[in-house]
Structures are given as structure tokens and as C-alpha cells.
Structure 1
Amino acid sequence: MSTIESASPSSTESASPSSAGTGAARTARSPWAGTASAEELARWRGVAEAVAEQLRPGALERDRTGDPRAALEVLRASGLANLVVPAENGGHGAHWETAFEVIRTVSRADASLGQILGYHYLNQACVAFYGDPDGRERWYRASAERNLFWSDAFNPVSPDLSFTADGDGYLLNGVKRFATGAAATDVVISGAIAEGGRHDGELVVFALDSRRAGVEHPDDWDHLGQRASASGSIRFTDVRITEADVIGVDREEPFAALVTPGVQLLLANVYLAGAQGALEQARELVLARSNAWFLSGVERYADDPTVHRVLGELVAQTAAVEALADRLARRFDEAVALGAATTEADRGRIEVEIAALKVASTRAALEVTNRVFEVTGASATANRIGLDLFWRNVRTYTLHDPVDYKSIEVGAHFLDGRLQPVSLYT
């Protein structure tokens, strides 16, 4: 029995999408409540920092090989895979504020791993965003028991998948690009509009074993940065999807649509981590230099006032983004706690606030990861040092979706309260 097949609810127990929007199920749509305590944050900060220290030395090698699988086992062993799974379903029951800090901490050591981990949390959470309470309990418990890592094939700019009725199930066909983590994780979540059958015309959200028959990973990720994120394409050829694989149906509810601001908050935290990681390594490199520029009038680079000025500007810029990211991580907890009571206005407010962070984190990360070379010097461009990894990762990942449109979103809302159409980018 394959991993996800053994984890899926049985056909007779599977979530009934039609019940998700009615009765008592609606009052319990969100499994998250309240905000993180200082004790919770400290506990998981310690775990994440220990994991980051273990993973940091191998970041350059993973960048060269593009293989994150051994590192994911380190994350799995740490307990981080079950961080936001509710305690009553076998997880640790942590809050999103904690999760985003964990993502940022891991990303400072290796942004590719932070990206995979962040998508794991949000894809795993889709069982709550799209499923009903009974169905999500079975999915969560099965995932927690097996320490499963989740990925997705949701890229909206790729052609839609074919999802055609076949007997009492469906056949899935098509290709999705930028399926981050799919080749290295256990579960792939995706969605498609059903043609025929029980869900005819509905956008069905489902999950399946990443190694199920008919699923192929072409290993075609060959980009400037985020090289160990396993973000290549995924191909489905007559993959059988049964009701046991169905998480729910996308009914365009504001609560379910919160997953997109969550993804944008993930991106911003990875960008911020790139700036922080570059500054940490730049500090080490500057302090290790024993000489100084001949016109500086000092003996060490670390005493050069021009070095102080550049680093001061970059540190201040990064600190401002960090403060905003921390505030919005807590705001996201408050937003998802509304559950079925979430309104379009609630969802719109958190989206615009996170869009502003996306703009600020993009600008800061690109500037910091570029300008640290001004104070570390030509020797810091050596491949063995790997300071360029932060810039390559940030430059690649900040192209996820055009940041100019985030600026437009923020500006339009500032002027007259306008909101952009809800999508997997806004």
C-alpha cells in the first residue's frame, strides 16, 4: 500500500464536500484559534535554530546537486512536519506565527528547504481550508502518524489539468510546472474542474501519493537559484483519482481563499531570511579580514566607517521588514481563526497588508543580498564561500509573481479601498 493511499480516508469515510458549507460544520471550519504564546514561540524557535545549524553546512552542496531529500529527513526527525497539525489530530497544534518564524529560521540556512517546508504547511492546511471538519481530522491524523511532507501542483499559469469521469472515479492527465517539492515529498495536492461524474463542473481539490502510478517527475528544474527546492514539473498520465483522494471542493469561500495570503506571507518570510542570512555571513567575513582599504585610515575592514555605514543601512532596512513580518504573522492567526465567519472584507484586508510586506521584503532582500559584496570585497565572490547563494535564491524566488502588481494592489486599496480579484496570486 502506498504512502498516501494508506493515509487517505476510505471511500465510505471520505469528506463530503457538499456538507462543508452547512450546519455545525461551518461553525468549526477553522482548526486554529488564538495566537502563539511566548513559550510556544521559544520552544519551536529553539528546534528550528538547531535544525538550521545542522543544515547550514550542506547548503552549498545541495545547491549544486539539487537534491533536498536527505535534508528533509532532518526536518522530519525534528517534528517540524506536524507543527501546525491540531493537537487533537496528533500534531503539535502550533500557530501560524510560529510556523512563519520556523520557515524564516530554516530559510536563513537554506532557502530551498524553507520554501519546501512553507509550502508543506500551507498545502497540508488545505484539508482545513477546503475540507469539512470530519474529513480534515482523518487527513490530519494520517499525515501526522506518518510524518508526511506535502507539496502541490497548483500553478495557475500552466494549462489546466484534465479531470474526466471514469467509472466511480476520475482520470487525471496533464502537466504542471513549478511543482515545488513534489519530486521529494510524500503527498501532492492539486485541483481540477471535473468533467462528468459526481463532481461535474466543480473545482475538486484532491491529494495523492507523489509516487502513484502515472505520476512522473521529469527532474527539469535548472534555474539560477532555489536549486534544491525540487521545483520542476510534474506529469500526470491517466492517474486514477477516487473519492478517497478528494479533500473537498473549492466553493470560493473567503475562508478557503485565505490560503493565498498565506502563500504570499511565506514568500515574504523567505525573502527576509535571504537578507538576514546574507548579513550574518557578511558580518563573519568582515570580522575575519585583517587588512583594510589603504585610504581608510584604519587597520581593519571592521573599523572602516564606510563599512559601518553600508551595513547600518542594510541592517536597518532588514529590521523594519522583520517587524512588519512579525506583526502580519500574528494577524494571519487572527484572520484564520474566524473560520466560516470570514468575510470578503476580512480576507481583502489581510491580503493587502501582506502585499505591502511582499513589496518591502522584495526590495530589501534584493538590495541587501547585492550590496553585502560592497563591504566583503572581491574575495567574497569565491565559489567556495557561497555568499552569492543568498542573492541567487532571492533573485529567483522574487520572480514568483510580479512585485509591481503587488505595489498596484496596495496603492489602489490606499486610494479608494479597491480590492483585486481573488486568485492564487492575490
Structure 2
Amino acid sequence: MSATQDDKLLATAVALRQSFQHDAVARDQAGGRPTAQIALLKQSGLLAARIPTEYGGGGASWAAVLRVVREFARTDGSLAHLFGYHHLPLHTVLARGNTTQMAQWLSQSVQHQWLWSNSGNALSKTSSAQRAGDGKGWVVNGFRPFSSGTHVADVIQVSWENKQGQRLTGVVPAQRPGIVIEDDWDGIGQRQTGSGTVTFEDVQVHDDELLGQAADPLTPFVSLTPLLQQAVLLNVFIGSAQGALDEGRNYTQTHSRPWIHSGVARHVDDPWIQRKYGDLAIRVLAAVELAEQASATLDEIYAHGHQLSEEQRGRAAIDLAVANLYAGEVGLAVSNDVFELMGARSATTANGFDRFWRNVRTHTLHNPAEYKKRSVGTWALTGAYPEPALYR
């Protein structure tokens, strides 16, 4: 995709973000399903932007898609998360699917503007399957937690373990009989992501819906999913920081009153406020630069496809870990410190400024910075890249 096309993609995202803005606070407080917003997302064509052109998609770069994630998060971290995670099962189809499956699933996704989601949490081995009675396909039972986006999805990636403990993955229509969306997500943040439980009650997965086999090797290209997750979330963190800074600045300019001992008539003239906003702005700009570098690395390695080497993947793992770590720290700092700059009257439920901190805090807990820093530290000391695994 050309730079001009990338610009059009971002312009579409900006317009959508502005439409999301008017009720972002109310929707965050209500939780539930952002049905109207998903409809707008489908109408925009953005859901097909990353799908390769040979299947009718836009062939957009990862950098362009992740900028859209960042743009949405300036207003709504939930929609940013749903849009970003939509691309993870699409990668699974490209990495594990055969020629027929790729043509079928991806072309139909473009045609129908499907939203994809995942209910295959790898840490929770809580679903299993048996071969169907006719020997064709599988029958899945159990459940999976943290199934982000399933409540509004058209297609769901599902996983289960066989008797040998090997993991199998398939993709099924969200309306497949036996799939029960529990709507039990009650996180303090990301309230419209539906990141709760999906229960499987004799759900049929046909053989042509199975992506790969349990014994297939975990190649560097197949193992990119954790890096893609990091890429999405780090841009949610940065977009949240940008949104907190935007809304904080506007409130400071229009509503904040100078402190009684500041010696200034306007809050914005207080040297403390000026210095602090400068500090937060600089940190956000630095986070964006690291994100752009990581996105460029991701695009570079992704182009290798199944020829991707372990070393190339390892280099990307470090770039993404660094960007993710810094984005998380900046997102938490900015979304917290901005309250001190706006003043006491800003801390109301009606203003909803707390949604930025809650959204960042919710997801940074899923990927502890301590262990990611150790991976980066090991690389800095020894040159050893992280071995492909969950969260790295």
C-alpha cells in the first residue's frame, strides 16, 4: 500500500474516531456491546485493509493498521483493541491455512466485512474435543476465558487440546450452534471488548475449518501471534496516553483554575503546569517513535512469510518488547499524572477521564513488565533473542 493509501486509511480512522467520541464516556460506563460502532467500522472498509490484495483486501502495511489502532485509542480503547485483535486470527489463517482455506475465508471476509475474534486463550486448557460420530470434523466442549471481541464477531477462532495435550485451532462462524457468549466481562477497563467467557456446548468444527494439524511445527512465521498482540496493545497504550493528554489539555485550558499560591491569573501560565505538560508530551512523542520503529520492523519481517528465520523473528521480538514496555509505562504515567494538572474538579464520573488509565492498567497487567524487561536485559547482556512463546 502506498503512502497516499496509508494516509487515506488514517483519515478514515480519524473520521471514525470523531464519531466514536461523542458517546465514548457513556459507552465506557455502560459496557456491553458497541454494536453501532462496529457497524460503522464495517461500513468504513477498514476491516479488510490488511487482507492481501489477491483476496480483494487493501494489502495495508502493519504500520498503517497499527496507526489506526492508535487513533481509535485516543477516544476508545475498547474499539482500538477489537480492531487490532481482529487481525490476529487473520494472521493464523495466513500462517496455518492451506491455499483453499485462505482463498475461502479471506475473500469472504472482504466481501462481507467480517469482524474476527479469538476464543483460544492458550493459558487456559479448558476445552476439549472428540471426533464427530461420522468421522468428519470435531465436537468441542468446555469454555475459554478472555475471549475478546466474540460478543460482536462474525468469525471466531477456537482452540482445544487433544488427548496428547497438543493444541488444535479452527475458525467457525460466530452463530454456530452451541457457542454461548456469556457476557460476563467485568474488568475495570476495556469495558466494551467483551473479554469474558465463551462456552462450547457440542460445537461442531468441520475438517475444512481446522487450520493445520496438531503436530505441525511452530515455525517463526506461525509464532508471530504473540508479537502481533504486543504490537496492538502497545498502540492502545500510546493512543490512550495521547487521548488523556488531548482531553487533559482541553480541560486545563477551559476549566482548570490556578492554584491559590501559584501567583498566576491563568492555570496555563503556571510554570509547573507548563513544565509538566512538556514532560508528558515528550514521553508520548518518544513512545510514538519506538512504536513506529517496531511497526517498520514488523512489516520488514512479515514480508518473508514462511521463510522467516529465527534471527529475524528475534530481532522483531526485541523491538516490540522495548516499544511495548515503554508504551505501557508512558500510558500509565500520562493517564494518571494528567489529573494533577487538571485539578480536583476533573475527577468526576461525568468527565470520564479515568477511562484512559483504567484501559491501560487492565492490559498492562496481562503482560508483566518485569519479565519482558528480563528478556530485553538478557539480549543486552548476551545477544540471545527470546525463544518464541506466549507473550514473547
TM-score in terms of structure 2 length: 0.95
Q: Write the mapping of 1:22-33 to structure 2, written as runs, cut at 5 A.
A: none
Q: How does 1:210-359 map to 2 (within 5 A)?
A: 210-249=174-213, 250-289=216-255, 291-359=257-325
Distance 1:349 1:307 in 2: 39
User: Is residue 85–residue 91 contact of structure 1 (8 Å, CA) maintained in 2?
Assistant: yes
Q: Secondary structure at the match of 2:168?
A: strand
The answer to whether the 8 Å contact 1:40/1:98 transfers is: no
1:160 Cα deviation after fit = 4.1
Deviation at 1:401, TM superposition (A): 1.7
- Superposition pairs of residues 20-419 of structure 1, within 5 angstroms: 37-66=2-31, 67-166=33-132, 167-195=135-163, 203-249=167-213, 250-289=216-255, 291-419=257-385
Distance, in Å, in 1 between the alignment partners of 2:291 and 2:201 is 41
Output the amino acid matched with 1:191.
S
**Structure 2 partner of 1:21:** none
Secondary structure class of the residue paired with 1:276: helix
Q: How far apart are residue 248 of structure 1 and its match? A: 2.4
Aligned to 1:13: none
Cα deviation code 1:378-398 (max 9, x no counterpart): 011011111111111111111
Paired residue type of 1:295: H
Gap change, CA 1:374 and 1:202, over 3 Å in 2? closer
Question: 1:22 maps to which residue?
Answer: none
**CA contact 1:275–1:369 (8 Å) conserved in 2:** yes
User: Please, what is the CA RMSD of the aligned residues?
Assistant: 1.5
Per-residue CA deviation, residues 274-322 of structure 1 (Å, 9 max, x unaligned), is 1110000001001103742222221111111110111111111111010
By relative contact order (CA 8 Å, sep 6+), the higher-ranking structure is 1
Structure 2 residue ranges without an equivalent (≥5): none
* One-letter amino acid of the counterpart of residue 226, structure 2: T
The separation in 2 between residues aligned to 1:149 and 1:424, in whole angstroms, is 24
| Kept in 1: contact 2:317–2:386 (CA 8 A) | no
CA 1:64–1:291 in 2, change beyond 3 Å: closer, same or farther?
closer
Conserved in 1, the CA contact under 8 Å of 2:20 and 2:37?
yes
State the number of aligned residues. Answer: 387
Structure 1 runs (4+) greater than 3 angstroms displaced: 200-203
Identity of aligned residues (%): 34
Whole-angstrom CA distance in 2 between matches of 1:181 and 1:289: 37
| C-alpha distance in structure 2 between counterparts of 1:349 and 1:173, whole Å | 39
- For structure 1, the residue ranges without an aligned partner over 5 or more in a row are 1-35
Deviations 1:321-352 (A, max 9, x none): 10010111111111110112111111111112
User: C-alpha separation between the residues in 1 aligned to 2:186 and 2:167?
Assistant: 31
Q: Is the 8 A contact 2:95 2:306 kept in 1?
A: no
